[in-house]
Every structure is written in C-alpha cells, then in structure tokens.
Amino acid sequence: MHSFGYRANSLLTFAVTILAFMCAIVSFSFSNQTPSAQIQILNINWFQKQPHGNDEVSLTLNITADLQSLFTWNTKQVFAFVAAEYKTSKNSLNQVSLWDAIIPEKEHAKFWIQISNKYRFIDQGYNLRRKDFNLTLHWHVMPKTGKMFADKIVMSGYSLPDAYR
C-alpha cells in the first residue's frame, strides 16, 4: 500500500489528470475581441462562360484587416479567408472561398493586401451575370491546446457585371 510503485502511480495519475483539466479550462478564457476588416473589388479581370457551361470570374481584391485582438497566449495561429456568398435559382446558398492566409503571429495580423483570387470563382451553372453577392472575411483561431473558435464579418453590396468580358 505504501510502496514506491504505488505512490509513483498515484502521483502520475494525479498530475496527468490536473494537466488534462488545465488544458480543457484554457478553452474558457476569452479576451476582448474587436477585429475589423474592409474589402474592395478593384477590378473584374475577366468574366467568361467556360466550355463546360459554368460561369467563371476573376477579381482583384483589396483586403484590409486588423485581427490583432484575436491573439492570446494560447493562440497558435489564426486562419483567415475571404469567401463570396450568393444565391441562385438552383442553390439556396453558394459559398466560394477566394483567398486564405495563415497568420502565425500577432504582428502579422494587421495587414493590407492586393491580390487576385487565389481560388477559382466558378459557379454551378451560368448565373453570375448581374449577380449580387456578399464578401465575408472569416477567421478561425487555432489554439495551442483546447477549443477552436471561428467567426466572420459579412460585407454586402458587391455585384458582378451584366455581361461577360
């Protein structure tokens, strides 16, 4: 009952349990989060109906964001991405990711970037002419340990041209 082995076993079990408990508790600490973002469409590079019948558009985006308030001591990285959201007659919701980035440190979380879409913006069909859509900036905070959480900012009021170009 009082052997070294028994004591070592109890101690180890207790230590591991406490460690697991602490890792779990960490998920409940929240800080004041005030992220902000703005996206501008600088240019419609081209807008075509592809041979397989689906519309595709290429855009140049100007993305400004400040995600520094999302970083805590427990943050390993923040994954940020911009998606276009729109409705069509066939689909009640379409979400197409246009750009993403991994932000490993707080210093890199305040940024301004001008790029054309990293991923192709292709519709299921040819519904994109004169289409109104939202651009959403999502962020996914990935911790060193524990619960991940995600949120987004929705910016509306964007639209595509009437005709292909």
Partner 1 sequence: MMGWIGETVDSIKSIKIRQLLTQAVTLGMIVTSALIIWKAMMCVTGTESPVVVVLSGSMEPAFQRGDILFLRMTKDPIRTGEIVVFKIDGRDIPIVHRVIEVHERKTTGKVDVLTKGDNNDVDDIGLYADGQMWLHRHHIMGRAVGFLPYVGWVTIIMTEKPIIKYLLIGAMGLLVITSKD
Please tell me the distance from the alpha carbon of residue 48 to that of residue 121, in angstroms, as a whole number: 11
Closest of 56, 97, 77, 90 to residue 150, by C-alpha: 77
Interface mask toward partner 1 for 126-165; x: CB under 8 A: ------------x-x-xxxxxxx-x-x-------------
Stretch that binds partner 1, among 36-44, 65-73, 87-95, 154-162 (CB under 8 A): 87-95
Candidate residues 29, 91, 114, 156; the one interacting with partner 1 per rule CB under 8 A: 91
Closest of 159, 41, 135, 47 to residue 83, by C-alpha: 135
Chain mean position to CA 102: 9
> Minimum CB separation from partner 1 for residue 9, in Å?
11
Please tell me the distance from the alpha carbon of residue 99 to that of residue 116, in angstroms, as a whole number: 8
Count of chain residues binding partner 1 (CB under 8 A)? 32
81 binds partner 1 (CB under 8 A): yes
Question: 90: buried, middle or exposed (CB in 10 Å: 19+, 13-18, 0-12)?
Answer: exposed
Q: State the residues that interact with partner 1 by CB under 8 A.
A: 23, 27, 76-77, 79, 81, 83, 89-97, 100, 102, 104, 119, 124, 138, 140, 142-148, 150, 152
